[in-house]
Structure 1
């Protein structure tokens, strides 16, 4: 008897490598793994093309479409998480040296007002420093190359927030370097920073201690993306969601185990000096499962994100976790 086929679209991470190499799979399912050159490409294929049975999707993209009948439902699998104090960049000649200096300034954001990284960065600044997004002007565009805002999702924002599109032929990274914008909230590091431009710096240059302190105080490890499953599949095969959850969990655990085992070899499988010291230092701040899936271990983080999304005018209602994720996995 032929096993049912399942197409999964996501990025290749440590958390998903074992799914791509076939060492982990969903029981009784013939899985085909697909990816794309960029994450927005994956999201576009999910939203506009409905190409995958199971896919990675940014939390904000999922929430924006949840009210309009998206044919997917989220499961509490989180392959992409990043602390976000480090994602705020400023022109060094702008006079911005602390969060309060962002008021009245022009700030760029890649692709959409309120990317997952931007939702987190704004939310953290609002909670910790009294930041008010409506007091700044926002410009949306491509990061290192000119690009129109994403056209595969809605673009809600509060009426009082000034949001415009970058001028034709302009990209946000070069605009930051030249001083055409004062700051940039970005999921990716702009090329001018990678090239060592003297005109651009992070708002928080020594971000690691700040992010570690934030994690210790709040228990929050910011989640960027979730995994979604086609609703029709769950209606026809309600057992499938548990198989998908187990497969992604096993792949994530296999990735973590590689780091644990390679401590014996000082993590020499990487080219990063002192990687072993970093892994050991992280062990002081994180429990044994430092990248948890499921609802219980992530409730604080998810509640914060849902609140930020609503407070920033990206949701018309304050979503509850129980409204957002597949009911079959609410007890995870």
Structure 2
């Protein structure tokens, strides 16, 4: 069957773009793919942020999620602070004004808040939340609902959150992307966890969780083809993994990133052969944790079970 697929061009999906039996489209940013999926139903199979999918699940979204996870990122690194705010650790995130890109509870924010709640006693209701664009003014995403608990104060800003962080008008920022002010080396801003890699590696060793941001969804009327789609994406993932394994002999020079080979060897030691497993069984703990966070943060009306959310539950 010839599918139209909408997804970002990751190393794990790159092989799909070279196939002739499917049509693969992408966009400059991921929210563009999400919006074209939700508003226009443009694709047969599409990448969609987990929180966007869950928010729309009860309202009859004509797509069903598959346990294919093209985007996974550890999120200790996604909390940025104004250095003059007095925030030197998680315990200082109390009675603060905090920005979040696009919506209260973007996938990166769901994970970061959840980890801080579990491990540092963080309480979102003890802060004021401001939603807006990251590096330029932007309204909250208009293609999804924006739930939040009544006791969590949420407002919107017509100014860029990165600018507000530099001036100290917000104390902290939860963001899926690195703000331009950080990339530019603005002295006023930094990360809550400057040395985040050891923390994220320790978190993974203790919990087994590699946070999932997005899943692929398929039109409900095409569910009979879900196994075929799963095989397509698994083959593309395997192509990427095989490339990294082959390139160990060449010190990963196809990327020309210094010390990339050392990074691949460290990851191989920590993750084993399968860095990005698909399927429910290999990801159950991660998925159940995310569904719990989504419910605890007031973004779901009830606690969803994994089997209610994903097709192919036996994978």
TM-score by length of 2: 0.99
The answer to whether the aligner puts 1:314 opposite 2:280 as a matched pair is no
Measure how far apart 1:272 and its partner are: 1.2
Match of 2:215 among 218, 222, 226: 226
2:161 to 162, 168, 172: 172
**Residue equivalent to 1:205:** 194
Structure 2 counterparts to residues 81-96 of structure 1, below 5 A: 81-96=72-87
Corresponding residue number in structure 2 for 1:6 = 3
Off by >2 Å, runs of 4+ in structure 1: none
Q: Separation in 2 of the partners of 1:159 and 1:7? A: 40
User: How far off is 1:330 after superposition?
Assistant: 1.1
1:49 to 40, 52, 76: 40
User: Would you say 1:60 and 2:51 are equivalent positions?
Assistant: yes
1:286 equivalent in alignment to 2:275: no
Match of 2:18 in 1: 21
Task: For 1:211 and 1:59, locate their aligned partners in 2 and report how far apart those are by CA, in whole Å.
Answer: 21
Q: Which of 190, 213, 217 does residue 206 from structure 2 map onto?
A: 217
| Alpha-carbon distance between aligned partners in 2 of 1:90 and 1:205, rounded to the nearest angstrom | 10
CA distance in 1, matches of 2:247, 2:160: 41
1:100 CA drift (Å): 1.3
* 1:287 positional shift: 1.7
Which secondary structure does the structure 1 equivalent of 2:86 belong to? coil
- Is the aligned partner of 1:194 residue 2:179? no
**What whole-Å deviation, never above 9, does each CA across 1:299-332 have from its counterpart, x for those lacking one?**
0000000000000000001000010011xx1111
The question of 1:331 aligning with 2:314 is answered yes
Compute the displacement of 1:271 (Å): 2.6
Deviation at 1:290, TM superposition (A): 1.1
Q: Secondary structure at the match of 1:290?
A: coil
Any stretches of 5+ residues in structure 1 without a counterpart? none
Taking structure 1 as the reference length, the TM-score comes to 0.94
**Inter-partner Cα distance in structure 2 for 1:279 and 1:14:** 14
Displacement of 1:150? 0.3
Distance 1:5 1:14 in 2: 22
Task: State how far apart, in whole Å, the 2-side matches of 1:6 and 1:206 are.
Answer: 43
Matches of 1:21 and 1:196, distance apart in 2: 38
The CA distance in 1 between the partners of 2:301 and 2:272, in whole Å, is: 35
Distance in 2 separating the partners of 1:100 and 1:136: 12
> Could you say which residue in structure 2 is the equivalent of 1:133?
124
> Does structure 1 residue 242 correspond to structure 2 residue 233?
no
Unmatched runs of 5 consecutive residues or more in structure 2: none
Counterparts of 1:181 and 1:272 in 2: how far apart (Å)? 35
Deviations 1:227-249 (A, max 9, x none): 00000122xxx1x1000000000
State the Cα deviation string for residues 86-117 of structure 1 (Å, max 9, x = none). Answer: 00000000000111111100000000000000
Q: Return the alpha-carbon distance in structure 1 between the equivalents of residues 308 and 109 of structure 2.
A: 23
Would you say 1:299 and 2:299 are equivalent positions? Answer: no
User: Number of aligned pairs?
Assistant: 315
Displacement, 1:72? 0.1
CA distance, structure 2, for counterparts of residue 31 and residue 285 of structure 1: 34
Q: Give the Cα separation in 2 of the matches to 1:225 and 1:37.
A: 16
